[in-house]
Amino acid sequence: MASTMKYVRVPPNSASLAEARQRVFEFFKTACRSIPSIMEIYTLDDVTSPSQLRSVISSEIRKNAHITNPKVIDMLLFKGTEELCNIVEHSKQRHHILGQYVLNREDRTHDIGNKDQGASDFLKSFYKSNY
Amino acid sequence: MASFTASSVSFSAVSCSFKQNKVSSLGKGSLSFSGNGSPSRRLPALRFRVSCAAKPETVNKVVDIVRKQLALPADRDVSGESKFATLGADSLDTVEIVMGLEEEFGISVEEESAQSITTVQDAADLIEKLLEKK
């Protein structure tokens, strides 16, 4: 099943930003085209829809939209492709998919509420990422 | 046109007739059929050629998808001539819209054709062309 997906390897060097852009779009298209099979593997039909998954994928890509170094973009594409392969070959389970991509997509810092008024910036960006 | 004259088509064959009907409704040349050795006839009603504008319902569907994707308010005017860039779509949005259209119409857009899409009308025309080919 994994071999049917594609021979997506990210060759190590994108020559320029433009080529890296093209690779990003290719990756996005590959991911979108595998959405139907993902929905079937993990039976996501009643929790989400293909268009929502598409927007989740694009928001993940947009999180790194500010990067300009082609090598970094290659690395991110490699990670993305690895994640996509893992999902498509059923190496993950349904709760992984739900937790990572379907549920709780709104910004988690919204529900800080009153008790964290004095929270530092470190804490505020804690939920966003490790760095 | 020549390919249709070569094959003998009888309307009792259901699958063949569907294909003929689909093509003939888009006016691609003339339809000729021969039943048991009778000479081929041309049906004059089917000979009109559709000009290459896309059908309005296709354009409307495309507009809907664009609207939903870019979260445009209902008063923002989206017509056939609006370019995606003026509607506030960046390149990833454009690709996403194309993927949405692929899913909606069940077509598959190649790389080069996807590059050339800049307006809503382009997208609708491309969809029409791919639907005809199917």
Residues B23 and B60 in one domain: no
CA A62 to chain centre: 9
Q: Which residues in B lie closer than 8 A to residue A33 (C-beta atoms)?
A: 99, 102
Query: What is the per-residue pLDDT for A68?
Result: 87
Residue A4 lies in a domain: no
Helix or strand run (H / E) with residue B41: strand B41-42
How many Å apart are CA A45 and CA A57, to the nearest integer? 17
Residue B87 lies in a domain: yes
DSSP-derived secondary structure letter, A110? G
Residues in chain B: 134
Residue A97 lies in a domain: yes
Dump the DSSP string for B50-90: --SPPPHHHHHHHHHHHHHHHT--TTS---TT-BTTTTT--
Higher-pLDDT residue of B64 and B41 is B64
Q: How many angstroms separate the CA of residue B116 from the nearest CA in chain A?
A: 14
Higher-pLDDT residue of B93 and B15 is B93
Residue B6 lies in a domain: no
| pLDDT surpasses 70 at B14 | no
Would you call A108 an interface residue with chain B, using a CB distance cutoff of 8 Å? no
Environment class of A47 (CB within 10 Å of its CB; exposed 0-12, middle 13-18, buried 19+): middle
DSSP-derived secondary structure letter, B40? P
* Across A126-130, B46-50, B120-124, least confident range: B46-50
Residue B31 lies in a domain: yes
Residue A22 lies in a domain: yes
Query: What is the per-residue pLDDT for B88?
Result: 79
Per-residue pLDDT of chain A (131 residues; tens, 9 = 90+): 444 455 556 566 888 888 898 889 989 999 999 999 999 999 999 999 988 999 899 989 988 888 888 989 999 999 999 999 999 999 999 999 999 998 887 765 555 555 656 667 777 777 667 66
Task: Using DSSP, state whether B33 is helix, strand or coil.
Answer: strand
Q: Which domain CATH number covers B105?
A: 1.10.1200.10
Structure tokens at A95: 């709760």
- Quote the crossing angle between the two packed helices A17-33 and A70-88, to the nearest 10°: 10
Residues B28 and B78 in one domain: no
Residue B95 lies in a domain: yes
* 19-78 of B, contacting A, C-beta below 8 A: 68
Residues B118 and B62 in one domain: yes
Instruction: Please answer yes or no on whether B100 and A54 come within 8 Å at the CB atom.
Output: yes
Higher-pLDDT residue of B78 and B62 is B62
Residue B7 lies in a domain: no
Residues B42 and B63 in one domain: no
Residues B129 and B69 in one domain: yes
Average pLDDT over residues B62-86: 79
Residue A55 lies in a domain: yes
Provide the pLDDT confidence category of residue B30 given band limits of 50, 70 and 90. very low
Query: What is the per-residue pLDDT for B52?
Result: 52
Which residue of A38, A54, A56, A57 to mutate against B (max B Cβ within 10 Å)? A54
Q: What is the count of structural domains for chain B?
A: 2
Higher-pLDDT residue of A96 and B20 is A96
Residues B60 and B22 in one domain: no
pLDDT digits (tens, 9 = 90+) for B89-116: 888 888 888 888 888 888 888 877 777 8
Q: What is the count of structural domains for chain A?
A: 1
**Residues of B annotated catalytic, as ranges:** 90
Query: What is the per-residue pLDDT for B31?
Result: 44
Is the dihedral angle over the CA atoms B52, B57, B60, B65 positive or is it negative?
negative
Note down the domain range covering B31.
Answer: 12-50
Query: What is the per-residue pLDDT for A34?
Result: 92
Q: Which of B92, B100, B102 sits opposite A28 (nearest CB)?
A: B92
Would you call B93 an interface residue with chain A, using a CB distance cutoff of 8 Å? yes
Note down the domain range covering A97.
Answer: 15-127
| pLDDT surpasses 80 at B51 | no
Residue A10 lies in a domain: no
End-to-end CA distance of chain A: 35
Task: Using DSSP, state whether B119 is helix, strand or coil.
Answer: strand
Residues B62 and B95 in one domain: yes
Residue B86 lies in a domain: yes
Residue A5 lies in a domain: no
Q: In chain B, pLDDT over 70 holds for what percent of residues?
A: 60
Q: Which residues in B lie closer than 8 A to residue A21 (C-beta atoms)?
A: 91
Give the chain A residue nearest B111 (alpha carbons). Answer: A26
Residue A2 lies in a domain: no
Residue B100 lies in a domain: yes
| pLDDT surpasses 50 at B130 | yes
Residues B84 and B41 in one domain: no
Say how many C-beta atoms besides its own lie within 10 A of residue B46's C-beta.
18
Provide the pLDDT confidence category of residue B26 given band limits of 50, 70 and 90. very low
Instruction: Please answer yes or no on whether B103 and A28 come within 8 Å at the CB atom.
Output: no
| pLDDT surpasses 70 at B12 | no
Instruction: Please answer yes or no on whether B96 and A28 come within 8 Å at the CB atom.
Output: yes
Q: Residues 6 or more apart from A117 whose CB is under 8 A from it?
A: none
Residue A3 lies in a domain: no
* 111-130 of B, contacting A, C-beta below 8 A: none
Would you call A32 an interface residue with chain B, using a CB distance cutoff of 8 Å? yes
Task: Using DSSP, state whether B32 is helix, strand or coil.
Answer: strand
How many Å apart are CA B72 and CA B78, to the nearest integer? 9
